Amino acid sequence: MEKKLSILFVFVLLLNLVAWNGVSGQEAPLETTQSSTNPISDLGNPVQYDPQKPVNDGNDITLEFWYWTGAANLFQSLADQYTEIHPNVTINLVENPWNDYWTKLPLALQGNDGPVIFNFHNNQHDNIIGYMAPYDISPADLEADFVGVSGHVIEGNIYYTDYGLMTATIYYNTDMWAAAGLTDADIPTTWDEFREVAKKLTIRDDKGKLVQAGFSFNGGIQGDVLGMNYQYGQNLFTSDNKITLNNDAMKNVIQRLKDLYEVDGVGDYNFGNNSGDNFGQGMVAMYLGWGFMTNSLSQNFPDLQFNCFEIPAPTEAVPYAYHRYNGESTFGINKNAAIEQQNVAQDIVRFFLTNYKKSSAWPMQFSRQKRHCKLMRISLPYRVSLFSPIISTGIFGPVPCPVQLKPM
C-alpha cells in the first residue's frame, strides 16, 4: 500500500476529504517540516528526498516562481515549508492572471532571466515544452509512486507529470437553496430532477426580468459540453484518435442546455458573461465547475455560502461515465536558467513530490471539493484499481471509463 500512496492521498482528498476552508473559509492548517537545525528523516519511497542535504552548498540563492491567479495561499505555503528547511533559498512568487500567463510565460522563458520554476498546465504542452528541463528523477521511480507517468515520458525523460486528478461537479448556493425550501433530500441525481430544481431556484421580477438564474453556463459552456457525452456512452475521441463531436450524444447534451434556457427559463444568454464569477457574485444559484473552483471561490468570494453535488445523469442507472477528468501537472523548470538555479528547482520538485506526508494538503486544497460533497464518479487511469479501496466497479482502459466510487 505504501507504493502509490501519494497519488491515493492526492486523489481521494483532491475530490472531497479535507475541505477545511470549503466550510469555514479558513485555510487548512498545514503540518510544517522542521528546520535544518532540527532535521527530519528522509521522505518518500521510491522517489526520495533528503532534507538534511545542503542546497547550493548552503550559499544564498534566489529563484523566481511563477503561478496563475487563484492559489496564492497554496504557493506561499509551499515556499514557506521549503525555505524553513533551506533558509539560504529565497523564493520570489510572481502571480499572473490566467489569460496573460500563457502569453507572458513563453516570452519570459526565451531568455535567461525568466522564472526558474513555474506552474504548468498540460493543455499548454506544445507551447511550453521546448523551454522545459527534464526532471532529474527517473520515470521508473515516478511510475512507482504516481499514476499515469508513462504517458508523459519523452525520449526517456519526464518534464512534468500528474500529481492528482480533477473532475467537474455542480456547485450550488446554500442560502439560495434554503430560501427556495430545498433540502439535502432534493439534491438531483438525474437531469430531469435537475431541471425541476433549477426552476425552483430561478427568480424573476414582476415584469419577468431574470433576477436570479437557477443555473448558468454563460462563458463556460465548453466545460458543460465536453465530457457530458460520456454519460451516453460516447467517447470524445475515436479509436484512431480523431475527435468526434457530430453525434447523437453531443446533440442530446447541447439540446438539454438550450432547453434549460429556452424552455425552462432558468437562465439567459445575456445574464452575466462568466457563470463562475456570476455564481460567486450571487447572480446564479447553480453552476458546473471543476474542482479548482472551490479554492478560487473561497479566496475571491469569502462570504459566499456554497456546497456541491455530483453531476446528474440521464437516468438513475450508473452511466458509462459521469464526466471527463484531467491531471493536475507538476511544475516546470526553465532550461535557460542558470544551472545553480535549475538545481534548486529540481530540489523543490522532489521536495513537493515526496513531502506528501508532511504537506499533502497543498495539492489537495488546489482542486478539492467541499467536505459534504459525495465523491464524484469519474474516469480513472487503470493503475488506480490496484490500490484504491474506494473503487467498487470499473472497466479500466486508455479512454474515460465507468467507475463508481462509494460515498465517504
**Pick from 113, 1, 23, 22: nearest CA to 365:** 22
Q: What is the pLDDT of residues 87-123, one digit of tens each?
A: 999 999 999 998 899 999 999 999 888 999 999 999 9
- Using an 8 Å Cβ cutoff, are 173 and 305 in contact? yes
| Residue pair 324/227 in contact by the 8 Å Cβ criterion | yes
User: Given pLDDT bands bounded at 50, 70 and 90, which one contains residue 45?
Assistant: low
* pTM over 0.75, yes/no: no
% of the chain surpassing 70 pLDDT: 76
Helix axes 191-201, 248-262, angle to 10 degrees: 20
Q: Is the pLDDT of residue 365 over 50?
A: no
Give the pLDDT confidence of 206-258 residue by residue, as tens digits. Answer: 999 999 999 999 998 877 788 899 999 999 888 888 888 899 999 999 999 99
Beta-sheet pairing, 286-290 with 403-405: unpaired
Please, what are the domains in the chain? 34-161+330-354 (3.40.190.10), 167-309 (3.40.190.10)
Cβ atoms of residues 368 and 21 within 8 Å: no
- The x, y and z cell numbers of residue 206, run together, are 414582476
Amino acid (one-letter) located at 352: F
What is the full DSSP assignment across 63-127? Answer: EEEEEETT-HHHHHHHHHHHHHH-TTEEEEEEEE-HHHHHHHHHHHHTSSSS-SEE---GGGHHH
- Interatomic CA distance for residues 148 and 152, integer angstroms: 8
